[in-house]
Amino acid sequence: MFDVRPVETDYVRHRAAQFRAQVDRRLDGSLTEDEFRPLRLMNGVYLQLHAYMLRVAIPYGTISPDQMRMLAHLAETYDKGYGHWTTRQNIQFNWPRLVDIPDMLDKLASVGMHAIQTSGNTIRNVTTDAFAGAAADEWMDPRPYAELLRSWSTDHAEFQFLPRKFKIAISGAQRDRALVAAHDIGLRLIQKDGRTGFEVWVGGGLGRTPMLGKVIRDFLPEADLLAYIEAIIATYNLSGRRDNKYKARIKITVHERGLEVFKAEVEEEFANRRRDFHGADREALAIFRDRFAAPAFRNAATDGFEAERVKNGAFRSWTDTNLHPHKIEGYASVIVTFKTHGETPGDASADQMRLLADLADRYGHADLRVSHDQNVVLPHVHKSDLPAVYAALQKAGLAVANAGLTSDIIACPGMDYCTLATARSIPIAQDIATHFKEAGLEDEIGKLNIRISGCINACGHHHLGHIGILGLDRAGVENYQITLGGDGYDIPAIGERAGAGFPAEEVVPAIDRLLRAYLDLRADASERFIDAYRRLGPAPFKAALYPEPAHA
């Protein structure tokens, strides 16, 4: 049954102290590694290819400037001066020492942060639209509900040992930017007959068996959110497969049992569970709504912004690509891409984190978001402040005008860090970004989502890329499969494999052929790669990837 923790910071501190004692017991030999592993995983501590890794939760990607400064402090003090934004709106530190992690968790707790449920077969970080509370096309801020789900799911006793990990995404805008269809549960805030509720999706996910979710409820009154979600997960907890790790996600449960059977079980469970919710969740939601109240937006002229656009071509270009429409006139959301050509996608230095914190304090109503595409968003910036924000970002190498373009690549850490990986992702992303910049084609190509994963677990969302790249180990050599036609947004789709994989050194030439073919094939410059692919089908694009060998 749901209850609101009155002083959650105390709980987080308590958990950090608990973990310190667990680490002590591991080091003094009281705990074996087999006993310790589940305990460290419950606190986001993995052992990766070269070192431990600590994954810190950034609930629904929302982070305050002070919290961002703490991440910078941790990066400098305990890591190698940087952190890595993940595709689930979290941050990973790649080099902490086990003996330092208790101190890191204490410091995180001091700013209300933690690493709880960033691993393990539990309900993971609830994710949402990076522009939540700001987007022009949003009709309701989903974050109070995201916070309700986070609060409810944290340490939920029944759901600590699910068959497999469990991911929930929630969206409140017309355009789904939270990848609702690709989550175990996806929620879209909707209105029906004047009532607020959710379209509830279930059974989506990527990984080795990619599936788009199915609508299990086309309208769930918002007051029933927790009871219904609890019913879904309780049903899955009992009927999900525990005999085979690769068939343990809810997508397989729904697929094997059939949506109607699964739904009937959920509805029965819902009817029972609903009686246990006596209003504490409603009270909590009211508190969370206050917490996420819109900031005091100001009304000011935007002449300076327009004038700067006229006189500064680089600024104009950046504002063309890296701004997102805001619901308040005179405002914009700024996308700060961590995709500088040739750099590692999603890596942020401590100095860059501090700069973002300062900019958020000074120009951004003290609000920052980590986006699932490994960028950072300043959701609320008045346009008159954009020249100053741009100048500061430019000085730090963060004013690259590439949001949504070829080089704005999602890439998992791959075999440069991840112990599960079968090939590297980062060098492929670096090479693609650098190549198309040097070829001068990035602006001409326009909007394009390239997604790279270093194994079939698909942390790099390759299935959802217009162009997806999957790194595999083929007889001891890195090899890359290309998928085409995936989309996480407007028309959710799983990309289709184009053909045989390419050795690492042939990936960039293959993508080059593909995109040059697209430029020849598109109806006009406004037709994106994905639109041209949908209009023409895969054949001409496959032909570009796999040209007929010339006959002598």
Residues that bind other proteins (CB under 8 A): 26-29, 32-33, 47, 49-52, 80, 95-99, 344, 347, 415-417, 424, 426-427, 430, 473, 476-478
Q: How far is the CB of 209 from other proteins (least distance, A)?
A: 24
Question: Min. distance of Cβ 44 from other proteins in angstroms?
Answer: 14
- Tell me the residue ranges of DSSP E strands in 107-260: 127-128, 168-171, 185-192, 195-202, 214-221
- Comparison of 98 and 140: residue with beta carbon closer to other proteins: 98
CB nearer to other proteins: pick between 72 and 250:
72
Q: At closest approach, how far in Å is the CB of 461 from other proteins?
A: 20
Least distance (Å) from other proteins to the CB of residue 75? 13
531-532-537-541 Cα dihedral, nearest 10 degrees: -130
Smallest distance, Å, CB 529 to other proteins? 26
**Minimal distance, residue 32 CB to other proteins, in Å:** 6
User: In the complex with other proteins, which residue's Cβ is closer, 26 or 327?
Assistant: 26
For the purposes of burial, counting CB atoms within 10 Å of the CB of 297, is it exposed (0-12), middle (13-18) or buried (19 or more)? middle
Compute the least distance from the CB of residue 475 to other proteins, in Å: 10
Compute the residue count for the chain.
552
- Residue 488 to residues 53, 410, 493: CA-CA distances in angstroms? 28, 12, 7
C-alpha 136: how far from its chain's center? 21
Of the two residues 36 and 228, which places its CB atom closer to other proteins in the complex?
A: 36
Minimum CB–partner distance for residue 256 and other proteins (Å): 30
Beta-bridge mates of residue 473: 478
| Residue whose CB is less far from other proteins, 37 or 257 | 37
Distance CA 129, CA 141 (A): 9
* Contact assessment for residue 382 and residue 303, using Cβ atoms and an 8 Å cutoff: no
Q: Are 498 and 510 in contact (CB under 8 A)?
A: no
Question: Considering only CA atoms, which of 268, 267, 240 is closest in space to residue 184?
Answer: 240
Q: Cα separations (Å) of 44 from 39, 47, 285, 291?
A: 9, 10, 27, 27
Taking the least distance from each CB to other proteins, the nearer of 359 and 409 is 409
Query: Which of 265/416 has CB closer to other proteins?
Result: 416
| List of long-range contacts for 200-203, beta carbons under 8 Å, 24+ apart | 200/228, 200/232, 202/232, 202/250, 202/254, 202/259, 202/262, 203/250, 203/251, 203/253, 203/254, 203/255, 203/259, 203/262
| Nearest residue (CB) to other proteins, 35 versus 218 | 35
Q: Select 347 or 408, whichever has its Cβ closest to other proteins.
A: 347
Give min distance, CB of 28 to other proteins, in A.
8
* Contact between 60 and 147 (Cβ < 8 Å): yes
Residues 6+ apart with CB under 8 A from 188: 170, 171, 172, 176, 180, 198, 199, 201
Q: How far is the CB of 47 from other proteins (least distance, A)?
A: 6
Q: Measured from the CB atom, is 97 or 242 closer to other proteins?
A: 97
Measured CA distances, 179 to 46, 298, 526, 547 (Å):
26, 32, 24, 34
